Amino acid sequence: MRGSAGERQGERAGPSSAWGLNNRGAAGNRRTVTRLGRPPPGDTLGRAAMLLLVSNDDGIDAPGIDALARALSPLGQVLVVAPHTERSAQSHALTMHEPLRVTERAPGRFACSGQPADCVYLGVHHLCAQRPTAVISGINRGSNLGDDVHYSGTVGAAEEAALMGLPALAVSLHPDRERAPDHHWDTAAVLAVRVLRAMLADPLPPRVFLNLNVPDRPLSEVPGVRPASLGRREYKPLVAESRDPRGREYYWVGGAPLGFDETEGTDGYWFARGWATLTPLHPDHTHRATLDRLSRWDALSSESAG
């Protein structure tokens, strides 16, 4: 989960009214690969004019990416480029010290040996015949709320697209094991399409992308989508030590979640109350309010050098 869309003009109206998000009312084979994105002859601005690149961090065989691709297909051509196996918690990592292997599973569907961000990079710069209209990452099995965004490969894939100046959306479903043995991927897919339509109709500032989290419920039980700031999500610290059959130590890290920040207006606050949440993110991590403070540090002055 480690790792990142078009310039808008004019002011944007209130999110839920202008965007209509609430429910109420609204691969390595050396043969030639199938690149998508060029409209067929005679198709001037029809369905084929929109090219949507889809990736995830759960892997190409995950049910969430299938549900997302199906829901997006009426909007245009869908190109899937996803890891060949699960790559959760890889953030924005790129594979720099070994080759990437790509297998074309079917026309427009590629499995990649790398990380989620690799898949987006490869898709945009090599497998797409033209620049994608947007990049959608998911549907992740598990929410990406609060601090999760810093580790999430789902978010990392969307952030990679945002760094390229593409509209990008990360989508996650929080699995409810008690309510839903069969998870409601369709709920997340429907809301993802709504959000995508809205962000294409009302483009966001450059390099801003969106993080959508959806509860595991029928669509009729989700009151709508709440724009929300990032909160905090706490996990129990855990380092589990063990030994392999040869007596060498090894470790598992990462404990169980402890809960959400309950500050009103945050993603965890609204999510705990049954809402889907939508958070705008940006790859610029600069804390600007601290820049002036640093400029007053004597240790940074030329007189103190040496």
Which contacts of 241-249 are long-range, i.e. CB under 8 A and separated by 24 or more positions?
none
DSSP state of 32: P
Q: Is the pLDDT of residue 77 over 80?
A: yes
pLDDT for position 37: 54
The sign of the CA dihedral 271, 16, 188, 254 is: negative
**What is the rounded average pLDDT of the residues 73-96?**
87
Q: How confident is the model at residue 72 (pLDDT cuts 50, 70, 90)?
A: very high
Tokens coding 144: 């990406």
Q: Is the pLDDT of residue 13 over 80?
A: no
- Name the percent of the chain lying above pLDDT 70: 81
Produce one character per residue of 123-144: b if its CB has 16 or more CB atoms within 10 Å, e if not. bbeebbeeebbbbbbbbbbbbb
Q: How far apart are CA 107 and CA 103, in angstroms?
A: 11
Q: Is the pLDDT of residue 7 over 70?
A: no
Give yes or no for a contact between 231 and 261, defined as CB atoms under 8 angstroms apart. Answer: yes
Lowest-pLDDT range, 49-63, 103-117, 202-216, 291-305? 291-305
Q: Does residue 29 or residue 243 have the better pLDDT?
A: 243
All residues at 6 or more sequence positions from 296 whose CB lies less than 8 Å from its CB, including other chains: none
Lowest-pLDDT range, 81-90, 117-126, 150-159, 189-198? 81-90
Q: How confident is the model at residue 305 (pLDDT cuts 50, 70, 90)?
A: low
Q: Is the pLDDT of residue 12 over 90?
A: no
The per-residue pLDDT of the chain, averaged, comes to 83
pLDDT for position 222: 97
Give yes or no for a contact between 56 and 116, defined as CB atoms under 8 angstroms apart. Answer: yes
pLDDT for position 2: 38
Q: Is the pLDDT of residue 11 over 90?
A: no
pLDDT for position 87: 82
Q: Is the pLDDT of residue 62 over 70?
A: yes
Among 35-49, 75-89, 185-199, 280-294, the range of highest mean pLDDT:
185-199
For residue 301, the SS3 value is coil
**What is the rounded average pLDDT of the residues 45-61?**
82
pLDDT one-digit tens code per residue, 198-248: 999 999 999 999 999 999 999 999 999 999 999 987 778 888 999 999 999
pLDDT one-digit tens code per residue, 277-297: 999 999 998 999 999 999 889
Element (H, E) at 270: helix 267-271
Which of 185, 231, 212 lies closest to 276 in space, CA to CA?
212
Q: Does residue 136 or residue 288 have the better pLDDT?
A: 136
- Name the percent of the chain lying above pLDDT 90: 62
Identify the CATH assignment for 15-231+261-304 out of 3.40.1210.10, 3.40.50.261, 3.90.1300.10, 3.40.50.720: 3.40.1210.10
The sign of the CA dihedral 114, 115, 119, 125 is: negative
**Predicted TM-score of the model (pTM):** 0.81
* CB-count burial class (<10 Å; 0-12, 13-18, 19+) for 16: middle
Lowest-pLDDT range, 88-97, 154-163, 182-191, 197-206? 88-97
Could you state, in order of their start, the residue ranges of all structural domains in the chain?
15-231+261-304
Q: How far apart are CA 127 and CA 61, in angstroms?
A: 19
